[in-house]
Amino acid sequence: MRNPSRKAIAAAVLGLGLAGMAAPASAGMPVIDSANLAQSVQQVLSWGQQLTGMEQQYLQLFQSYQQLEATYHSLTGPRGMQNLLPIALASRNYLPVNGTQLAGVVNGTSAAYPLLASQVQTTMQLNAVLNPQGVSALSPQAQQFIRQSRQAAAMLTILSQQTQANASNNFGNVQSLIGALGTTSDTKASADLSGRIQSEQLMTQTNQIKTDALYQSVQAQQLQNAQFAREAAVKQQGTQAGLTPITW
């Protein structure tokens, strides 16, 4: 950009020099007005300085524009952080969400959580003392008590195992995201990663709340079983004397 400007200034000076020649004097010899020529040259040089200053201002403005554009792109647009360490929805919702689903898991009939229901049934079988023939020889009330007690104990066992495994996975995911946060220099990517870490921590807290609620539901079932056993004993003996009190 500077070379054309200098050429233009040189051309202007040459033109002024030619224009500064006076009309031919006697004998056809041209006369140059030195004062006017010097003034014209000074004016052209001043124009050149102004043009150079405007050129520098333009370059500075263009650089500022590029910096603003780079800043804008660094703060906007997706970075795909939601695709980092993808977790399936089924893995997040690994616990029943209501009493009906919990009952299906405990009874081994859940279609929404077949793996969890299978684990509960397997735990019941592994921890059983009475075989099916021994249970069938008991009264219907005793069979119901044993079945519900086994279900509650197995559900608490599986619930604790699943909660521990999920908490360990969440901890590992958060640690991986924190490690990725330390390696990125992109402002928007850093902000997205920070948001993702907060989301994972919030999901962990939400799962803990669900776990506590389910744990209380199973404990309530255990209390009902205890009350059932107490009333059955009272009915059989006709008195409450000598019975072990229930701790609430």
Same domain flag for 131 and 147: yes
Same domain flag for 69 and 91: no
Distance, first Cα to last Cα, the chain: 89
Same domain flag for 61 and 100: no
| Between residues 94 and 62, the one the model is more confident about | 62
Structural domain includes residue 204: yes
Same domain flag for 24 and 93: no
Structural domain includes residue 243: no
pLDDT tens per residue, range 23-54: 454 455 666 677 787 888 888 888 888 888 89
What's the rounded mean pLDDT across residues 122-145? Answer: 89
What's the rounded mean pLDDT across residues 121-135? Answer: 91
| Between residues 100 and 245, the one the model is more confident about | 100
The amino acid at residue 102 is L
Structural domain includes residue 41: yes
Same domain flag for 91 and 195: yes
Task: Read off the pLDDT band of 120 (50, 70, 90).
Answer: very high
| Between residues 161 and 73, the one the model is more confident about | 161
Residues 6+ apart with CB under 8 A from 223: 246, 248
Interatomic CA distance for residues 231 and 246, integer angstroms: 11
Write down which residue in 75, 93, 114 finishes a domain.
Answer: 75
Same domain flag for 88 and 198: yes
pLDDT at residue 10 is higher than 90: no
Residue 132 domain boundaries: 81-237
Write down which residue in 75, 100, 124 finishes a domain.
Answer: 75
| Between residues 52 and 2, the one the model is more confident about | 52
Structural domain includes residue 247: no
pLDDT at residue 123 is higher than 50: yes
Same domain flag for 100 and 207: yes
Structural domain includes residue 46: yes
- Total tally of structural domains belonging to the chain: 2
Closest CA to 159 of 83, 225, 221: 221
Write down which residue in 75, 106, 128 finishes a domain.
Answer: 75
Tokens matching residue 237: 């003996």
Same domain flag for 127 and 21: no
Of 81-90, 204-213, 225-234, which gets the smallest average pLDDT?
81-90
pLDDT tens per residue, range 137-177: 988 888 888 888 899 899 989 988 888 888 888 888 888 88
Interatomic CA distance for residues 174 and 168, integer angstroms: 10
Look at residue 1 in the predicted model and tell me its pLDDT: 46
Three-state SS across the chain?
A: CHHHHHHHHHHHHHHHHHHCECCCCHHHCCCECHHHHHHHHHHHHHHHHHHHHHHHHHHHHHHHHHHHHHHHHHHCCCCCHHHCCCCCHHHHCCCCCCHHHHHHHHHCCCCCCHHHHHHHHHHHHHHCCCCHHHHHCCCHHHHHHHHHHHHHHHHHHHHHHHHHHHHHHHHHHHHHHHHHHCCCCCHHHHHHHHHHHHHHHHHHHHHHHHHHHHHHHHHHHHHHHHHHHHHHHHHHHCCCCCCCCCCC
Of 28-37, 95-104, 131-140, 188-197, which gets the smallest average pLDDT?
28-37
Task: Read off the pLDDT band of 121 (50, 70, 90).
Answer: very high
Look at residue 23 in the predicted model and tell me its pLDDT: 47
Interatomic CA distance for residues 242 and 128, integer angstroms: 28
| Between residues 94 and 245, the one the model is more confident about | 94
Same domain flag for 229 and 120: yes
Structural domain includes residue 244: no
Same domain flag for 85 and 64: no
Structural domain includes residue 64: yes
Same domain flag for 85 and 205: yes
Same domain flag for 232 and 111: yes
pLDDT tens per residue, range 193-223: 888 888 888 888 888 888 888 888 888 888 8
